Amino acid sequence: MKLRTKSILFALLVILIALTGYYGHAFYSFFTGVQEPNIVKTHGADGKTKPPESEIPVWGGTERVNILLMGVDRRELRPDEQPRSDSMILVSIDPVAKTYDLFSILRDTYVKIPGYGSSRINAALAEGGPELAMETVSSFVGLPVDRYVITDFEGFKHLIDAVGGVELDVEKNMRYRDPSDKGLYDINLKKGLQHLDGDKALQYVRFRHDAMSDYTRTERQRKLLSALAVQMQKGTTILQLPAVLDSIRPYVQTNMSAGDMLKLAALSLQLKSEQAGQYQLPPMGAFQEANRGGSVLLPNLEQVKSYVQEQLNRPRAATQTQSPDKP
């Protein structure tokens, strides 16, 4: 009996060592891959390309963490051309209260881009890479923004598929014929509660061919990200993690260190998704529509910054997550 017990313990030890090596390799490969400029170039002060890095000190457990998520469409770009950010969402995490807020930034918002004059905010990424995009957004919202994550269409689809898809209530029928890629990115969704795979989820967040255009598109993006957060908290196990990381590694770029990413991954499992805030920037009433070579939104920066602070400091007792500025 003792011999058999020792054999079982030895077998378990071998399995544990093997698993540790497997997960360690998965983490190492992922963290190495996503810090390479595989989607857009990064720029130093001299304008030359340099490896991305994070110079942010480790927060002492109390500092708010602000991460700029950017989705890009690299189709039909020249080899030397930088993409604009098709979508921009600022994620602000309170590591003490274990809450987070999502701020969608309308891409037609007309702001000052340091060193490049005034333009749509989504041009900052194309003009100066993720560093300039973070600097521009930081000035716009009045928060320090020094971490970013960039992905493209394929990266988004792979992430959704890797976690097994998401449950979502599609609020209406959505159809759109995309003239690019021979119909590969056409949109054809039916109304109702359903399980969306990566392809269907991408269709959902891209659709904007309705009366409110980008307003409702960004609202759908926040809705899906919240559903994804819930899915990952309840449905992603440690056994799935290597496959998840491996599937999205070629399509993700970030400046976060391995240490920061590990700590944020652990923190994300504790976040209170039911108290997440979902907002549009600039909020309704804090901008004017104008023409600057096309239709743009001229924001009132003071109102925008006050609005951001108001939402970050609001009481968290309520479970409602819909934006109060919903058009």
pLDDT band at 171 (very low <50, low <70, confident <90, very high): very high
CATH number assigned to the domain comprising residue 61: 3.40.630.190
Q: Which residues of 172-208 are buried (b: 16+ CB within 10 A; e: fewer)?
A: eebeeeeeeeeeebebebeeeeeebebbbbbbbbbbb
Looking at the 3D structure of the chain, how many domains does it have?
1
The answer to whether position 321 is within a domain reads: no
Determine the straight-line distance between the first and last CA of the chain, rounded to whole angstroms. 71
pLDDT digits (tens, 9 = 90+) for 107-125: 999 999 999 999 999 999 9
Q: Is the pLDDT of residue 15 over 60?
A: no
Residue 53, in any domain of the structure: yes
Q: Which of 131, 120, 116 is nearest to 43 (CA)?
A: 131
pLDDT band at 177 (very low <50, low <70, confident <90, very high): confident
**221 within some domain:** yes
Instruction: List, in order, residues 6 or more apart from 202 with CB less than 8 Å away.
Output: 153, 156, 157, 160, 185
What pLDDT does residue 184 have? 79
Q: Distance (Å, rounded) from C-alpha 100 to C-alpha 102?
A: 7
Q: Is residue 319 part of a domain?
A: no
Please tell me the pTM assigned to this model. Answer: 0.76
Query: Domain for residue 323, yes or no?
Result: no
Task: Return the pLDDT at 158.
Answer: 85
Lowest-confidence segment of 29-43, 83-97, 188-202, 246-260 by average pLDDT: 29-43
pLDDT at 97 over 80: yes
Determine the pLDDT at residue 323.
Answer: 42
- Report the C-alpha gap between 279 and 88 in whole angstroms: 12
pLDDT on residue 321 = 40
Task: Examine residue 217 and state whether it is found in any structural domain, yes or no.
Answer: yes
Domain membership of residue 50 as a residue range: 2-312
Both structure tokens of 102: 């999502």
Highest mean pLDDT among 6-20, 121-135, 223-237: 121-135
pLDDT value of position 116: 95
Task: Say what the pLDDT of residue 264 is.
Answer: 75
222-228 mean pLDDT: 85
At 11, the pLDDT band (50, 70, 90 cuts) reads: low
In a domain, 214, yes or no: yes
**Would 33 be classed as within a structural domain?**
yes
Q: Is the pLDDT of residue 98 over 60?
A: yes
pLDDT above 70 coverage of the chain, percent: 72
How confident is the model at residue 18, as a pLDDT?
Answer: 46
More reliable by pLDDT, 104 or 47: 104
What SS3 state is found at 116?
A: coil
261-272 residue pLDDT tens? 767 776 776 778
Cα–Cα separations (whole angstroms), residue 201 to 146, 216, 238, 326: 28, 15, 24, 21
Tens of pLDDT, residues 192-218: 999 999 999 999 998 887 766 678 888
